[in-house]
Structure 1
């Protein structure tokens, strides 16, 4: 058994972070962001990063910290909303953006993990999403070719892990994390709970340990609510 647990996020990333590398970062809005690892990236002061993430967190949370610290050169994402800084940087020309339909982004990442260099989809045909990309007709229907996405380092947030790197995610925090865990040359995972080897039911493991290289305990586990809406309870 190989124990993949390291004592801190800083040590887990110190030899991996270099200017100009490509990072994947799990999460969707405020859910499932690898906050502990993102903070370690911020502290490292690496620059000119290309970051693959659904939407770069939200104001003052998640990858916003790297945008605010001017460490990101390019985002590959599917959504700019809920993050005013992301929007401002892009509109001002200070940040490159490769915008994808959300399903296409997910499939590009999944393809990267599966070793599939390209695939065809109907999504985006005839729109700006297809500009400059090859198209082909199958059974009388036009499809656009999309390329896989892979990263030098994948940053993942999981609920539970064992020392071998088998991962379990909790509810919506599953989002982009499992597919990103397969698509990084090196995958570093922060977890809320570390359990003994052999204690996870094999039928309920979401990502097998073969995809995970390093594990750290999460030190930031804040559960924010993106939009809180309340109403007065009606009387019975």
Structure 2
């Protein structure tokens, strides 16, 4: 609660300060300097770069879960498998986690392609859309199966990490919205917001998981598992 209240106070103070600063500097050299930075499409460039990094992370995760499905030594490594370990329910969940990440990679790959190359060839638009549609259905189906395969503890971590990431992202969106409305930065794409959320979620998941179960940071199964 202290964290939420503190963040909300800083967000309000930051929004007010940003608005006052924008109104006082409008038409000055400072505004011209800020515009020069953002008009170079730095935000778009960083979004694509971070998107490629996220693709690498998810490809690595898919490989890990594929190995965990068939290799007990990999499954025993809780640091690699996100704290799931080698329990019976976890071994059943690994194929669905693999399918989820493959579908996620496909959708993120399509979005990254069009963000990097907005004028993509029209003759591949429908195939890419159908791939994205099928991947979205696969994500929903595997997510539903995983919800009932894994225990309440893991579901609680996912929910808390998702809620924390959504809250932080909302604050960033509000501040960015003020900057866009004040004319200090150009409108950003939905892709940029998606990339920011995913990075925040990965950090939030590590934080929540580490707080709830420090054993998740260990390479093997804990002695009291």
TM-score (norm 2): 0.25
Higher strand share: 1
Please say which structure displays the higher CA radius of gyration.
2
TM-score (norm 1): 0.24
Higher helix share: 2
Q: Which has the higher contact order (CA 8 A, sep 6+)?
A: 2
